[in-house]
Amino acid sequence: MSGLLFAGATLPDGTLSDILVRDGFVERIGSDLKADGCEVIDVGGLRVLPGLVDLHTHLREPGFEASETVLTGTQAAAAGGFTTVFAMANTSPVADNAGVVEQVLGRGIDSGYATVQPIGAVTVGLGGAELADLGSMATSRARVRVFSDDGKCVHDPLLMRRALEYVSTFGGVVAQHAQEPRLTSGSQMNEGAVSARLGLTGWPAVAEEAIIARDVLLAEYTNSRLHVCHLSTAGSVEIVRSAKAKGIKVTAEVTPHHLLLTDETASEYDARFKVNPPLRTNADVMALRQALADGTIDIVATDHAPHPSEHKECEWNDAAFGMVGLETALSIVQLAMVETGLLDWVGIARVMSHQPAVIGGVDDAAGVLAEGRIADLVFIDATSRSTLTTDDLAGKSINSPYLGMELPGRVVHTVRHGYFTQRDGVIVSADVVSRATRDYDNSHTGAGTEVTDG
């Protein structure tokens, strides 16, 4: 592979530096670097971060290819600066066995736009009745370390206990979708003044908080790792904060949309704003921002949930839950956290690159910008502002709540394993990415293992 010399980048801490990438790795970081035979790319004025890592992505394949595929989903990831994504298990067939997780892994390798790490289901068929074969997924070629029934809650406390005990034997983590089903039957949006005014069935905050409270106790009892998906309420923040103070092994994520949008967006019955868990109140949004800033919430995760237009352009009660988020995540976090002074760019690298890689068990291969590490990088123009249109969405679905909004920041280049997946704001063609992937694999003994560790 030929080398790339990125000249004049602004590192997360504000230092100006050159970055020399050769053979898929960061060879040197420093001033006035020279490298014969390397292409020089002027990145003056651009910030560089470690390639973003998303612990919560719905790629929909196998089974729901009308919404997204691994290829189109990872192209959306590249557009947003992500170089590693964790694919949720709610596919058809469900990723509850070694065969399916290896299929998803293989699709990711074939795409080349991002490292795809499959998440395994906790229960067979997401049915909540029988523990899936966690061991076979953990020892498969996919080496699954994160398990989740996301989209559904593991509501049976005995099953949840057994899952926590099982994953602790190989350093895994259970990622819980915290939603007490009997408290949310038929629920359409956050329970409160807005739902009462609109006549929509409310989704009480306690339905989330009750499951989190139960599960942190189970995590403490089993001495195992619990990860809470898409935290959405101020009460949930307090439960997680208290658990961490006691030394319980709990981590938590927040989505970009829960950092910005409130339940008032439902006022026009626009189903682009229908999501699970629902958008909450402004007080919840402020609590979530503060919790991300102070470390109570560990990471940002997109919960990228594509749907075809016909599933969103309908009556609110009939519409699907979910919104796409890979392409816009960094801009939304910049708007909610950086421009409000709550996080600097070092903090953004922590919550969107390094810590997601640590929680997912891939921090040996992702989430770090340093000499000798794999060259997964994103270069952004943080000063840019533009109005989001469907042309900015690289995936298969366009159910974004931000269409028509002016957003800060623009991903200019995304580099995975030393080759461009997005260059000058344009997704690189599949043929070029495929060749670059083969070149990387051919030049590194055991490269496939390195990419998929975790």
Mean predicted confidence (pLDDT) in 34-56? 96
> What angle, 0 to 180 degrees and rounded to 10, lies between the N-to-C axes of helices 205-222 and 157-167?
50
Name the helix (H) or strand (E) containing 196.
helix 193-198
d(CA 430, CA 408): 28
Q: 415-448, pLDDT tens digit by residue?
A: 999 999 999 999 999 999 999 998 888 877 554 4
Q: 308-319, pLDDT tens digit by residue?
A: 999 999 999 999
Q: What is the pLDDT of residue 449?
A: 37
Q: 88-126, pLDDT tens digit by residue?
A: 999 999 999 999 999 999 999 999 999 999 999 999 999
Q: What is the pLDDT of residue 454?
A: 31
Does the pLDDT of residue 450 top 70, yes or no?
A: no
Q: 176-231, pLDDT tens digit by residue?
A: 999 999 999 999 999 999 999 999 999 999 999 999 999 999 999 999 999 999 99
Does the pLDDT of residue 453 top 60, yes or no?
A: no
Mean predicted confidence (pLDDT) in 354-361? 98
Q: What is the pLDDT of residue 1?
A: 55
Largest CA distance in the chain: 67
Helix-, strand-, coil-residue percentages of the chain, each rounded to 5: 35, 20, 40
| 3 state DSSP class of 49 | strand
Q: What is the pLDDT of residue 448?
A: 40
- The closest of 365, 321, 396 to 50, measured between CA atoms, is 365
Backbone angles phi, psi at 64, to 5 degrees: -125, 50
Q: What is the mean pLDDT of the chain?
A: 96
Whether cis (ω within 30° of 0) applies to the bond prior to 93 is yes
Whether cis (ω within 30° of 0) applies to the bond prior to 62 is yes
Cβ pair 88, 56 in contact under 8 A: yes
Q: What is the DSSP string of 278-339?
A: PP--HHHHHHHHHHHHHTSS-EE---B----GGGTSS-GGGSPS-B--TTTHHHHHIIIIIT
Q: What is the pLDDT of residue 442?
A: 82
Mean predicted confidence (pLDDT) in 370-392? 98
Does the pLDDT of residue 376 top 80, yes or no?
A: yes
Q: 67-86, pLDDT tens digit by residue?
A: 999 999 999 999 999 999 99
pTM, two decimals, is 0.96
Does the pLDDT of residue 353 top 50, yes or no?
A: yes
Name the helix (H) or strand (E) containing 25.
strand 25-30
Does the pLDDT of residue 139 top 60, yes or no?
A: yes
d(CA 257, CA 333): 9
Cβ pair 79, 394 in contact under 8 A: yes
Q: What is the pLDDT of residue 35?
A: 86
Name the region of 28 (left: φ>0; alpha: ψ -120 to 50; beta: rest): beta
Residue-range domains of the chain with CATH: 4-48+377-452 (2.30.40.10), 51-360 (3.20.20.140)
| 3 state DSSP class of 249 | coil
Lowest mean pLDDT among 32-41, 128-137, 219-228: 32-41
Does the pLDDT of residue 237 top 80, yes or no?
A: yes
Any idea which residues carry the catalytic annotation?
A: 303
The residues near 43 (Cβ < 8 Å, ≥ 6 apart) are 6, 7, 8, 9, 379, 412, 413
